[in-house]
Homo-oligomer: A and B are copies of this chain.
Amino acid sequence: MNNFIFENGTKTYFGKGCVREYLTCLSRHYGQTVMLAYGGGSIKRNGVYDEVMACLQKAGQKVIEFSGIGANPTYAKVLEGAKAARENKVDLILGVGGGSVMDCCKAISMAAVYDGDIWKDFWARPGVIDFEPLPLGVIVTVAGTGSEMNGGAVITNEELKIKTGRDYPKCNAKFALMDPTYTYSVPKEQMVSGGFDILSHIMETYFSEPDEGNVSDDISEALMRGVIRDLRAAIRDPQDYTARSNLMWESAMAENRIIKLGKRMDFECHQMEHQLGAYTNCNHGAGLAVLHPVYYRHIYKDGLAKFERFAVNVWGISPEGKSSEALAREGVEELAKFIREIGLPATLRELGVDETTDLKAIADSCNLASGGYRKMTHEEILKIFRECY
């Protein structure tokens, strides 16, 4: 294991009925005014909104509603939320939704108490948070981003066309409520893209140094096998509680920092997808599904031993009689097959990216770190984008 520091301040309440059981008491702890933040209103159709409101009313909370947080939440939306939180002297922000809502709420929790420009000071570059953000609680309705147990928030600055993520431990939600039955009504398309986002988080961590046997990689392999198993089961039966609850917890485990300990990581594919999203507003998980196999065909020779392990330990491919390269490549192709099996797009065209899209501009806008097996050049990223089309 390489050196690391670990902390996780989010208290997590997991399971059927947890919102009804704990939200009233939890909300009282922070004061009397809650800002209830959510997205496009699906929570009003599936009953989650009513359940949450009943708990808050029971707690005697004054509720300020802040809705309309869309996919790829924007800096403008963050500022709008912060203004509402300040004006209403909010004691607790309660984000109900998936990653977009949770990420937006984390940025709001900072902007609501910070006098400067949070984009400039904390997203454009990493900063040091020497103040206490507004307390945040989250209620998860989609398994995917794993934003519920970390301080990470991916925000899109529309003006600058930059989508970027930072993880500040101070931004961890104080509490997370995770009821797997809340995800029953998520449409299949969104469920599989969320599921692939989980798998992608684990792969982006796994495919980086160190490569010698280490606890983080061991756990990552177990989680990847689990996500594949549970995604297949949830497609067969969307109300399979075991599969849905496993996916919800795998989502959190992929991003609660445990599997990242001692790993270099770089999240190259995520960074490429972020820029693709900033330019085309495509679906995050589906964008990742298009990029991953093509990207791995480019880099697997640079991390050959790890890609061999991936083939054997994650996909159960027998290594017998195969060259290292053939085995490694077989693992990548098995991943590509799985992506098609669960109904995700395999090309940018299928993803709905327009022919006239300036792929070169997107490639040039990618600002990649160097934690992966090989640092990508803008030329190679463009090549990958073109192969994806």
Indicate whether A130 reaches chain B with its CB closer than 8 angstroms.
Answer: no
Query: Which of B1, B14, B242, B246 sits near A180, CB closer than 8 Å?
Result: B1
| Integer count of this chain's copies in the complex | 2
Provide the bound-state CA to CA distance between A234 and B85, in Å. 55
Q: Which one of A90-98, A106-114, A211-219, A324-332 is at the interface?
A: A211-219
Query: Which of B12, B223, B242 sits near A218, CB closer than 8 Å?
Result: B223
Q: How far is the CB of A187 from chain B (nearest CB, A)?
A: 23
State which residues 285-329 of A face B: CB under 8 Å.
none
Contacts of A16 in B (CB 8 A): 3
Query: Which of B11, B15, B214, B222 sits near A246, CB closer than 8 Å?
Result: B214
User: Is A18 touching B6 in the complex (CB atoms < 8 A)?
Assistant: no
Indicate whether A186 reaches chain B with its CB closer than 8 angstroms.
Answer: no
The answer to whether residues A246 and B1 also contact, given A219-B222, A222-B218 and a CB cut-off of 8 A, is: yes
Indicate whether A258 reaches chain B with its CB closer than 8 angstroms.
Answer: yes
State which residues 245-290 of A face B: CB under 8 Å.
245-246, 248-250, 253, 258, 261-262
User: Is A11 touching B7 in the complex (CB atoms < 8 A)?
Assistant: yes
Provide the bound-state CA to CA distance between A2 and B258, in Å. 21
User: Is B245 touching A1 in the complex (CB atoms < 8 A)?
Assistant: yes
Indicate whether A67 reaches chain B with its CB closer than 8 angstroms.
Answer: no
Provide the bound-state CA to CA distance between A18 and B9, in Å. 21
Query: Which of B4, B6, B13, B246 sits near A5, CB closer than 8 Å?
Result: B13
Indicate whether A188 reaches chain B with its CB closer than 8 angstroms.
Answer: no
Indicate whether A371 reaches chain B with its CB closer than 8 angstroms.
Answer: no
Provide the bound-state CA to CA distance between A223 and B13, in Å. 24
State which residues 1-46 of A face B: CB under 8 Å.
1-18
Indicate whether A337 reaches chain B with its CB closer than 8 angstroms.
Answer: no
Contacts of A4 in B (CB 8 A): 12, 14-15
User: Is B253 touching A14 in the complex (CB atoms < 8 A)?
Assistant: no
Query: Which of B10, B17, B221, B250 sits near A222, CB closer than 8 Å?
Result: B221
Which residue numbers of A lie inside 8 Å of B, CB to CB? 1-18, 180, 212-215, 218-219, 221-223, 225-226, 229-230, 242, 245-246, 248-250, 253, 258, 261-262
Query: What 13 new A-B contacts, CB under 8 Å, besides A1-B14, A213-B226, A213-B242?
Result: A1-B248, A2-B15, A5-B13, A6-B14, A7-B10, A14-B261, A15-B262, A215-B226, A218-B226, A219-B219, A219-B223, A222-B222, A249-B261
12 residue pairs bridging A and B, Cβ less than 8 Å apart: A1-B249, A3-B16, A4-B12, A4-B15, A8-B8, A9-B9, A212-B242, A213-B229, A215-B246, A218-B222, A218-B225, A219-B219
